Amino acid sequence: MHSADIPLFGVILAGGSGTRFWPLSRHLYPKQVLRLLGSQSMLEATISRLLPRIPLNRLGVVTSASQAEVIRLDLFRQGREGIRLWLEPEAKNTAAAVGLAAVLLAGEQEAETLAVFPADHYIRDQAALHVALNVGAALAQEGYLVTFGITPSRPETGYGYIKAGRPLMDGQAYEAARFVEKPPREEARRFLREGGYYWNSGIFVFRREVFLEALARHLPETYAGLRRLSAGEGGPGLAEIYATLPAVSLDHGVMEKAANVAVVPADLGWSDVGSWSALFDLLPEDSRGNIRVGRVLDRDSQGSLVFAQERLVATLGLRDVVVVDTPDATLVCHRDRVQEVKDLVAELKRQNLAESQQHLTVERPWGRYTVLTGGPGFQVKEVQVLPGKRLSLQYHRFRAEHWVVVQGVALVTIGTERRRLQANESVYVPVEAPHRLENPGPELLRLIEVQTGPYLGEDDIVRLADDFWRHADQPAS
């Protein structure tokens, strides 16, 4: 079989926790759904650059249950509903995530060879990726665990390095002689001088069975745990199994230990987009080395990144400063310290601050809402419903709602009554009244919702029917 004809099943790892790109990323709005580099989310870009080499019906996404809604929504918005979604009960790093997919794909003929991709990396050269995938697919048939190696451009100390050994396939690949995880600066410099070292890109190709054998050998606990999924009815549930799994990366737990590893040098224009400073390599700079996104007014700054949205950010005489502005939180950070943003977020979480969890604007399959303000006993939202969409039929135990339509047309069900509301019309939804909000028109529906009541949490929703298969206990309206 020609290597371009070897079927590949793509496993996309989308379990990132959303800390490095705070405040643009949040725990419930992680990096993989951000539009950092254009109009596509990182996840959508990851999917679309695989096409047509890996078609949609041979793609699956692994993510955590807590991020399921936002990932599902991102897929939905991009018209990618067909893609399989595997939900991990908790994050146990990449060995478990890939292991889960491999176990669940058992018996699928077109999933005999897997290609694994992080959901949140950038690759400029799609054609080169497809060439490398074909080389990887061929090597996988020979029993190799294949990893893609990026030619290092700087003595980066945050990555893993792979030393190339014996050439394979006329020098299109090498056996991996050695892995070095996060070397000291001096060693990284030596790697660059000597050559023959590659950055570990996190992209892998292998036969499913070869991978499972390696997992059984090098991470027997993970393998044994995941195999119990096959026990069928009466066997342990996924959450119970996941609780027992070690949290270890595929690189560290399997690739570094296995003997049958090959590296395919791949000049992909790759970036792991690991922090705000990575954008300096990926977005266009002005003549003073500044990057500006959104509503920014600058005077005489240099080497600075300002990422704004609707609010105005004015900057003056900055040197090497990163400013990221969102409706409820702003980060101002020296460019050399962006790696520590995750520590800031850890501190926010310790203090239990909502700004680490989610944005004021929350995306939903039917549209979005934005929290405008709130106080003791009340909360105000703007609700936007897409044309033809409707929210679930639901009621609230504790809150009443006042709706004022300000744009478009609403079809409102309250109890057994149905009413059409135009802009400048309002309606009252009493506590415990079953109700539904629908946009029957061709235009966006916008309304202002004033909630009042003793408890206003998002989890006070009892769903009676839903177009999006959501359950009553999910924190969503």
Contact residues toward its own copies (CB under 8 A) are 22-23, 297, 299-300, 306, 311-319, 321, 323, 325, 328-334, 336-338, 340-341, 343-344, 347-348, 351, 353, 355, 370, 372-373, 375-378, 380, 382, 400, 402, 404, 406-407, 423-424, 426, 428, 446, 448, 450, 452-453
DSSP state of 237: P
CB of 370 to its own copies, least distance (A): 7
* Residue 257 or 378 having the CB closest to its own copies: 378
Among residues 428, 426, 447, which one has the least CA distance to residue 383? 447
Is the CB of 31 or the CB of 208 nearer to its own copies? 31
State how far the Cα of 359 lies from the Cα of 375, in Å rounded to an integer. Answer: 18
Count CB-CB contacts under 10 A for residue 109.
7
| Least spacing, CB of residue 312 vs its own copies, in Å | 4
Torsion angle of the four alpha carbons 348, 350, 356, 362, in this order, in degrees rounded to the nearest 10 = -140
* Of 114 and 338, CB closest to its own copies: 338
Instruction: For residue 416, count CB atoms less than 10 angstroms from its CB and return exposed for 0-12, middle for 13-18, buried for 19 or more.
Output: exposed
Q: The tokens of 41 are what?
A: 């989310």
Residue (124 or 334) nearer to its own copies, CB: 334
Cβ-based nearer residue to its own copies, 2 or 299: 299
Integer Cα distance of 362 and 379 in angstroms: 15
Here the tokens at position 115 are 């290609």
- What distance in Å separates the CA atoms of residue 442 and residue 245, rounded to the nearest whole number? 49
**Shortest Å, Cβ 438 to its own copies:** 20
Nearer to its own copies, 209 or 343 (CB): 343
For the CB of residue 392, give the shortest distance to its own copies in the complex, in Å: 23
Quick one: 224 or 360, whose CB is closer to its own copies? 360
Residue 113 φ/ψ, nearest 5 degrees: -115, 125
Hey, which residues does 11 pair with through a beta bridge?
60, 116
Nearer to its own copies, 411 or 423 (CB): 423
Q: How far is the CB of 17 from its own copies (least distance, A)?
A: 17
Q: C-beta of 315: minimal distance to its own copies in Å?
A: 5
What the block records as the tokens of 52 is: 């047509």
Whole-number Å distance between alpha carbons of 90 and 440: 39
Report the nearest approach of its own copies to the CB of residue 386 (Å). 16
DSSP secondary structure letters along 115-138? EEEETT-EES-HHHHHHHHHHHHH
CB of 334 to its own copies, least distance (A): 4
Least separation in angstroms between residue 456's CB and its own copies is: 11
H or E element that contains 203: strand 197-207
Residue type, 63: T
Interior angle at CA 3, CA 113 and CA 101, nearest 5: 15
H-helix or E-strand spanning residue 225? helix 220-227
Pairing verdict, β 270-271 and 296-299: unpaired
Which residue is associated with the tokens 């793609």? 59
CB closer to its own copies, 111 vs 427: 427
Least CB distance to its own copies at residue 239 (A): 33
DSSP 236: P
For its own copies, the closer CB: 230 or 339 = 339
Nearer to its own copies, 359 or 470 (CB): 359
In what helix (H) or strand (E) does residue 100 lie, and over which residues does it extend?
Answer: helix 93-104
Residue 87 in tokens: 């939900």
| Smallest distance, its own copies to C-beta of residue 289, A | 15
CB 439 within 8 A of CB 386: yes
- In the complex, minimum distance from the CB of residue 376 to its own copies, in angstroms, rounded to a whole number: 7
**Phi and psi angles of residue 254, each rounded to the nearest 5 degrees, phi first:** -125, -60
CB of 201 or CB of 326, closer to its own copies: 326
